[in-house]
Amino acid sequence: MAYAPIKHMRFDWDTETHQFTFDTCGSRLEALDSLGDIIGSLEDLYEELANKYSYEDDMPMLFKVRGSQGQTKIEAVTHD
């Protein structure tokens, strides 16, 4: 089953606050599994950005992140 567990994600740079809606599908197991997968992918993305780019580097505006079973694929999205 494919679904979007995180919806309506917003981040306010002025106040450094964020908000989102998390869909559990009514299942503790699915909710925790989804969160674990998403957290793992976010940690991998964090490491990629921290280790690959310096503060002076130009960074792509978008990254496509795909994760599954402990593997994360991170691709910069380029616009020509």
Whole-prediction pTM: 0.82
For the chain, domain boundaries: 6-77
In angstroms and rounded to an integer, the radius of gyration of the C-alpha atoms of the chain is 15
Per-residue pLDDT of the chain (80 residues; tens, 9 = 90+): 677 889 999 999 999 999 999 999 899 999 999 999 999 999 999 999 999 998 888 889 999 999 987 799 999 998 75
One-character DSSP codes across 6-75: EEEEEEETTTTEEEEEE--TT-HHHHHHHHHHHHHHHHHHHHHHHHH--TTS---SEEEEEEETTEEEEE
